[in-house]
Structure 1
Amino acid sequence: MLKSLIKTTLAAAVLASAASAMAQAAGELVVWHAYRGAEKAAFEKVVEMFQKTPAAKGQKVSTLAIPYDAYADKISAAVPRGKGPDVFIYAQDRLGGWIEAGKTVEPIDFFVDKPVKDRLLPGMLDAMTYKGGIYGLPINYKMPTLIYNKDLVKVPPKTSGEMVKLAKTLTNAGSGRYGLAYWYTNFYFHSALMNAFGGAVFDREGKLVINSPATVASLNQMMAWYKTDGILPTEPSEALIASMFNEGKVAMVINGPWFVGDIDKKINVGLAPLPMLDAAKKPMRPWMTIEGAYVAASSTKKELAYELAKYLTTEEAGLVLALEGRQLHTNKAIYANPKVSADPVLKAFREQLDNAEPMPNRPEMTMVWTPATTAMNKIVKGNASVEAALKEAAASMQDSIGALRKGK
């Protein structure tokens, strides 16, 4: 089964590369993305809309959906060799690595003007910025928020104290019922606690600072919810949490817009911003991933490629991507549209944006995930103290980061 999936993914990627070459040979502007379903349909509709604008100059645009599992590696392999697209859509987490590798992403500072900057929600362009340069235009964003069952939670909690108190009344571990569930051993989801305490992975100069009192405090808070308060299920995963929520066995979850699509229609679902964390005296601040449109360094149509990227950030494009593609678009004007403001999902995640932070886009971030995951699992299973596990993880990260920088 796995071998079959790998073969299918690789075959699709090879076909996409061949299709790109044929489209470029025909003089078309080629765009790569990894959208499926409604997102894909909405994106393709917006591209067709762009082709009818004066900025397109009658140029045909060809879109290609790349299997997600092969997507990042395909960009890394194809674009520097001039065999990739003119524009590609991807989240900001790989941006630093591609820039440091070279010949992948074109800097666009020269193109980006004040009107484009002014149309974007606060903080969005920061995710597309690396070492002071702008390398992409932000299209949509994703982050976790509080999702709850309205039949079990009448009023969503505004503080962590309220959340814990409510969750305890809704927890009966013996019958497999819990007041709160989230993937607390996943460092991405833990970011909401770490950021609230003032912790970080890197400082402004890029120094690893994850082994800090703030991160220790955030991990202790997580363990208090799990062990002391007993409001979290053991061995959490996305699949388990989705199943429990749909069965009415979990009252509140911390998850993102991707989770909403998996909720059973029988669940009376509500959304609210993550609560104020009493111990930190600040709101929980999850990491936010932001997808950007990047101009490929190898493109021979860079001006036209930028025009498409710019169009993707417009209000008319944003309304289609939001209302039809269910994306959280970066154009701030769309949130004044009655259809968007009346949409409970779009409205809730827009509110969470006020307390969220872009995930680091440094290339060293790839060295963080495995040690962090290992540390969090050791802590939860009682195999190491918070301080010892974090210290060991930080040392492992630093060794990998040192090797990465030495190899440059």
Structure 2
Amino acid sequence: MRCRSAVPLLLLSWLLCWLPSARAADLTVWHGYRASERAALEKVVATFNAAQGDKGTRVKLLAIPSDAFTDKISATLPRGTGPDVFVFPQDRLGGWVEGGNLLEPLDFFLEPAVRGRYVPGTLEALTYRGTVYALPLDFKSITMLYNKKLLPTPPRSTGELLKACKTLGASAAGQGGVCLAYPYTDFYYHAALMQAFGGRVFDPGPKVRLDAPENVKSLEFLLKWTAQKGLLPAEPSTALVTSLFNEGKAAIVFSGPWFIGEIAPGVDYGLAPLPTVDEAGGKPMRPWLTVEGVAISSSSKHKDAAFAFLAYLTGPEGARVMALEGRQNPALAQVYEEPAVAKDPVLSAIREQARTAVAMPNLPEMTMVWGPATSAMNAVSHKLASPKAALEEAQRTVQKEVKALRRGPAEAAPKP
């Protein structure tokens, strides 16, 4: 039919012209997934789109290479371009919020039932200065993986670990073997031991506190481990850790779900929670909990439709597919009650480890911590500095960078 433009019929005519061809919303969603994670996300989106009907919301996915993802988000969102929705790790949240009005606050959309459906700590990881900016999609954490042939029963404490390693001996794992392998000079991995001793990166404020006494104590304890022959490798690169485990030259590895894809066929392995630390009063090792969230761009013209997609993706329908086909640990708590998920050894082990994990800080200052902290770790492990001196130097470096950040580029620039 032809559309009329008579004034009394203008509104009705406009509706009749618009309804046959318009769609409720076209949403562009950016992500950095590959392989099974990407295939699972595509399946969730296809199911969501089909449920919307011909005139409902249509979600379009765009995969961005992971090494370019952060830069593209940082470049497009301030200009009001880029995606309606995107998936990102929580450590970038604070920087993007402080950088301007880039992410849509979600508190307005969040009913109590939605807030309470996620694994504890995951929604908090996507909350910055009291405001929720994304819904949690999945989480990761390091845990303990062990070779069942070398070590049938996993140790529950550091005392049991040392006893098992002494019984096993380096020779039992083969020539050049060790009992435990993990990248202990990487601050990300060391955080699990540090936080068992009550260590931390920030005090309230936030104030950087890399030189906290508890952090020093955790490094002193690590030195005792490295001094024990056959316990840890001398140069713990990720490639070496993988090689030792695959060759049967390491009985235990501390790593995350990403390590599982590197395990050689035929290696009979199990997963168990990281051990409690006898020397820290029996407190559990507390690794970082890293959370991926789904956010809405503040410049999106379809925020209601975008939130409906967020709720679906992070809800029962999306979580089930992302768990069983994408091999992710969904943030939705109820999915772990489903038999297929509950009996999955990897998903259930990471879920169990999350109970003692600590959400990685999403403060902008956190990006300044990694380099100096890892430099301190290497200095200590190579006997170039004491734990106290190394952490004090890292503290000074980070404080200097944070001070420049808070002053801003104009103030930080030298005056003529």
Aligned residue in 1 for 2:39: 41
Larger radius of gyration: 2
Residues 25 and 305, structure 2, Cα contact 8 Å, conserved in 1: no
Name the SS of the counterpart of 1:175 in structure 2: coil
- Mapped to 2, the partners of 1:166 and 1:94 lie a distance apart of 40
Q: TM-score, normalised by structure 1?
A: 0.91
Name the SS of the counterpart of 2:192 in structure 1: helix
Aligned residue in 2 for 1:346: 347
RMSD between superposed Cα atoms in Å:
1.8
What is the 5 A alignment of 1:50-61?
Answer: 50-54=48-52, 58-61=56-59
* % identity of equivalent residues: 51
Indicate yes or no: 2:125 matched with 1:127. Answer: yes
Question: Which deviates more, 50-59 or 32-41?
Answer: 50-59
Structure 2 residue corresponding to 1:71, chosen from 69, 72, 76: 69
Residues 192 and 288, structure 2, Cα contact 8 Å, conserved in 1: yes
- The total of aligned residue pairs comes to 384
Name the SS of the counterpart of 1:119 in structure 2: coil
Q: Which amino acid aligns with 2:95?
A: G
Q: TM-score, normalised by structure 2?
A: 0.89
Distance change in 2, residues 1:26/1:74 (3 Å): farther
Distance change in 2, residues 1:125/1:257 (3 Å): same
Task: Give the CA deviation at 1:222.
Answer: 1.3
Distance change in 2, residues 1:156/1:56 (3 Å): farther
- Mapped to 2, the partners of 1:203 and 1:56 lie a distance apart of 52
- Mapped to 1, the partners of 2:242 and 2:145 lie a distance apart of 11
Aligned residue in 1 for 2:400: 399
Name the SS of the counterpart of 1:155 in structure 2: coil
- Mapped to 1, the partners of 2:221 and 2:54 lie a distance apart of 52
Aligned residue in 1 for 2:150: 152
Distance change in 2, residues 1:108/1:27 (3 Å): closer
Indicate yes or no: 2:203 matched with 1:203. Answer: yes
Task: Give the CA deviation at 1:53.
Answer: 3.4
- Mapped to 1, the partners of 2:262 and 2:372 lie a distance apart of 30
Indicate yes or no: 2:227 matched with 1:227. Answer: yes
- Mapped to 1, the partners of 2:193 and 2:54 lie a distance apart of 45
What is the 5 A alignment of 1:5-404?
Answer: 28-54=26-52, 58-172=56-170, 175-228=175-228, 230-281=230-281, 282-404=283-405
Deviation sequence 1:276-301 (CA, Å, 0-9, x none) = 11111200000011000010122111
Distance change in 2, residues 1:55/1:185 (3 Å): farther
Q: Which amino acid aligns with 1:209?
A: R
Q: Which amino acid aligns with 2:325?
A: E
Structure 1: where are the runs of 5+ without partners? 1-24
Residues 287 and 358, structure 1, Cα contact 8 Å, conserved in 2: yes
Task: Give the CA deviation at 1:76.
Answer: 0.4
- Mapped to 1, the partners of 2:105 and 2:255 lie a distance apart of 33
- Mapped to 1, the partners of 2:160 and 2:114 lie a distance apart of 41
Structure 2: where are the runs of 5+ without partners? 1-22, 410-416
Name the SS of the counterpart of 1:64 in structure 2: strand
Residues 31 and 86, structure 1, Cα contact 8 Å, conserved in 2: yes
Question: Which deviates more, 179-188 or 42-51?
Answer: 42-51
Residues 117 and 332, structure 2, Cα contact 8 Å, conserved in 1: yes
Deviation sequence 1:231-279 (CA, Å, 0-9, x none) = 1001112111111111111100000001011111210010000011111
Name the SS of the counterpart of 1:194 in structure 2: helix
Residues 56 and 304, structure 1, Cα contact 8 Å, conserved in 2: no
- Mapped to 2, the partners of 1:57 and 1:107 lie a distance apart of 27
Deviation sequence 1:326-366 (CA, Å, 0-9, x none) = 00001111111111111111111111111101100000001
- Mapped to 2, the partners of 1:230 and 1:202 lie a distance apart of 34
Residues 96 and 103, structure 2, Cα contact 8 Å, conserved in 1: yes
Distance change in 2, residues 1:249/1:57 (3 Å): farther
Distance change in 2, residues 1:72/1:316 (3 Å): same
- Mapped to 1, the partners of 2:368 and 2:116 lie a distance apart of 34
Distance change in 2, residues 1:26/1:198 (3 Å): same
Task: Give the CA deviation at 1:229.
Answer: 5.4
Q: Which amino acid aligns with 1:131?
A: R
Task: Give the CA deviation at 1:27.
Answer: 6.1
- Mapped to 2, the partners of 1:217 and 1:81 lie a distance apart of 47
Residues 24 and 57, structure 2, Cα contact 8 Å, conserved in 1: no
Task: Give the CA deviation at 1:103.
Answer: 3.0
Task: Give the CA deviation at 1:47.
Answer: 1.2
- Mapped to 2, the partners of 1:359 and 1:241 lie a distance apart of 24
Name the SS of the counterpart of 1:382 in structure 2: coil
Q: Which amino acid aligns with 1:206?
A: P
Question: Which deviates more, 311-320 or 130-139?
Answer: 311-320
Residues 34 and 71, structure 1, Cα contact 8 Å, conserved in 2: yes
Residues 146 and 253, structure 1, Cα contact 8 Å, conserved in 2: yes
Q: Which amino acid aligns with 2:214?
A: A
- Mapped to 2, the partners of 1:54 and 1:123 lie a distance apart of 32
- Mapped to 1, the partners of 2:259 and 2:153 lie a distance apart of 21
Q: Which amino acid aligns with 1:360?
A: P
